[in-house]
A and B are shown apart, each in its own frame.
Chain A
Amino acid sequence: MNREKMGNQQLSTPQGILTRRTKRKVTDIFIIVFFSIYSIVTIYPFYALFVSTFITPKQSRDLHLWIPKTDPLSLNTTFTGLQQIFNLKIKDFIKAFDLPSGTYVKPNMTIREVMEEYNLDEKKVRRYFEPLNTFRGWLIVLRDTKFYSSIVSSFIITAGTFLGEILFTTMTALILARFKKRWHFLLYSFYLIQLVIPRNLRIIPVYIFLTGTLGLYDKYLSIFLQWWKGAPLGIMIFTSYFSSIPKELEDSVEIDGGNRLHYLYYILFPMMMVPVGSLAVIRIPQIWNLFLEPLIYLKQNKHNLVAYVSIFAGTYTSNLQAIYTTVLVSTLPLLIFYLLARNLFIRGLLSGSIKG
């Protein structure tokens, strides 16, 4: 008997359909419940990181599922301590309490001593320090000018690297698409050799070449060039996309008297969002999160956000609030980009851009 007919017979009985439908429903419910729990478990560490930015060292030994109420700051804290903990500038304090200009507050004086000497209202003083105490981590980071320069650096590195890679890869892929000549195929295979060269094999030789031979230490170009040279992923995505465009379009440009540059400008550019989007979803997070390259190629004033976090954590080793705040703030731009472009990420990842 035909297996298909037999199978259909078995499945098409009322009991068969009911069993299959019920099984399907139960499976769907189980999967939705599982993924819902998994999603909560995935989001929880981000939430825990956020709450940790408000937890003082004294409170860190207790479990806090929400932002805890901060204990009031002790009035016996010295101004030295305030400078270390809150990055407080004494001149800001003098200005806030309208003390005469030229007032000298000794760093080893406590808040209480300053209050008594200058006859300051205790309530007003406590009100001044309360946000500092609650948002200490945030204030330290947001008052640090290096934080802002590291954001600018991150944008420069990401934009310069990605746009350059798009430009050079487009030029290469335009030629390699369709593999009309033998050397096209050889060149394409040549680029793919990179796939098998591990990163830790390349790092030091490239460092010696870029900083020693070319003298590019502390230049953004030293990072740009490492991506502009082309990566297998970009070459594969762009070449395969350009190859998929009907040859008739290319021929029609030629018939109309145009050359390949016209073809690139009038036909390919308007359609570039697809390969650019597919590459962006992998590349932008990779470049934004670069750590070792900015650390070894650039001086501190040009460090990106990730390198800034590592130096910051080395400076404020005991101030976990500030460290966690820096970590969270350094992650936010990319998270926001990801959530805004999530559809692009899904399309790019599942269209096999990773496989290439």
Chain B
Amino acid sequence: MLNLSQRRKRLLKDNLFEISMAAPQFILYVSLVFVPFIISIPVLFTDQSFIGDKTLNNVGLDNFIAIFKEPALRAVWWPAFGRTALFVVMNYAAVWLFGFSLALLMYEGRFRSSFFVVIYMPAMLSGLAFGYMISVLFSIDGGHLNLLFLKLGIIKEGIDVKSAQGLTWILPLLTGWRYAGFNLAIFLSGLLTIADDTIESAIIDGAGYLQRLIFIIIPQIIPAISIVSIFCLIGSWNVFGELVALGALYGNQSAVFTSIVIYQYAFSQGYLSKGLAISLELGIPLMIGAILLQRLQKRKF
């Protein structure tokens, strides 16, 4: 039986061990998640062009109001914001079209792993590779699917994926296809938690498929829906590689979304502090949105 001082020694040893194990990652975490924001605060109020720029001037709040007052940035930012917001909405619809529909079919059809392997394959593509793949399919002067659809008479002229219309419809649709496996997995995990008895009793009570879907299945998979929503609604704002492949950095204005504007301002046009300010102006509302969606996930139904 240990006496008090032995117990204290043991507790101290235990605590020291725990702190030594948890400390390394904790230090890295604080250093790379919170410290950067603190260090960046002074930069926000200067005209710093790049890392190592010694000729800094205080500009007050100019960086924050630049998206409203500066003509050059205004001309680029707000159309990009509109395009990105539209993409986010269309992509979210594509998530339901592909992810949820496929998950329902897999759920009803008893899971078949061989199909899942194929469905998940496009998620292995990088954003850049995916963007080039879209060009292979829908390039105006030689895209495979364009030529195929023209030959079959489905379309009268080729779809230009790099145009504003093409980017509005084709990019979100194909992004939904790309992440179909990922979203399917989340939805299916939710569907598999529904007790069979619940469904069977609904069938016995005479509920049709649509009624079961709306009143039983969807309410029971709200956590899965909110996870998919968080990933899609927040993650879609980060679309970058696809846009580079579709010419965003080489003159295709239709492919310039908010991520491209932030990248160009901060890293290639020499407006680091301005890029930082606009990334905060976009990122903070998104963070609030993510918090609200997360609270929905934790809600009990």
Show the binding face of A for B, using Cβ within 8 Å: 3-4, 6-7, 27-28, 31-32, 34-36, 38-39, 42-43, 45-46, 48-49, 51-52, 55, 60-63, 168-169, 171-172, 174-176, 181, 187, 190-191, 193-213, 217, 225-226, 228-230, 259-260, 285, 288-289, 291-292, 296, 306, 309-310, 313-314, 317, 323-324, 327, 330-331, 334-335, 338-339, 342-343, 345-346, 349-352, 354-355
Q: A202-B33, A292-B240, A354-B186 are in contact. Are A39 and B119 (CB under 8 A)?
A: yes
* C-alpha gap A217/B52 in the complex (Å): 11
Tell whether A229 pairs with B118 under 8 Å between CB atoms, given A31-B108, A201-B279, A306-B128.
Answer: no
Closest 7 CB pairs of A and B: A201-B283, A31-B109, A205-B36, A289-B126, A60-B142, A63-B147, A209-B36
Complex CA–CA separation, A285 to B121 (angstroms):
11
Chain B interface mostly helix, strand, loop or mixed?
helix
**Counting CB contacts under 8 A, is B1 at the interface?**
no
By a CB distance below 8 angstroms, the chain B residues around A335 are 121, 124
Whether A204 and B241, one on each chain, are in contact in the complex, defined by CB atoms closer than 8 angstroms, is: no
Q: Which residues of B contact A63 (CB under 8 A)?
A: 144, 147-148, 151
B263: interface (CB < 8 Å): yes
B73 within 8 A of A: no
> Nearest-CB distance from A319 to chain B (Å)?
13
Cα–Cα, bound, A45→B130 (Å): 10
Cβ B31 vs Cβ A229 within 8 A? yes
A42 partner, pick from B118, B223, B230, beta carbons under 8 A: B118
B255 within 8 A of A: no
Given contacts A171-B25, A198-B238, A230-B28, contact A204 B262 (CB under 8 A): yes
Q: Are B39 and A323 in contact (CB under 8 A)?
A: no
Residue of A nearest to B98 (CB): A38
A207: which B residues are within 8 A, CB to CB? 51, 266-267
- Kindly state the separation between the CA atoms of A193 and B145 in the bound complex, as whole angstroms: 43
Q: Closest B-chain residue to A206, C-beta based?
A: B36
Q: How far is A6 from B108 in the complex, measured between Cα atoms in Å?
A: 24
Q: Which residues of B contact A352 (CB under 8 A)?
A: 189
Q: How far is the CB of A298 from chain B (nearest CB, A)?
A: 13
Partner of B291, one of A181, A196, A209, A212: A196
How far, in whole Å, are A209 and B141 apart by their CA atoms in the complex? 45
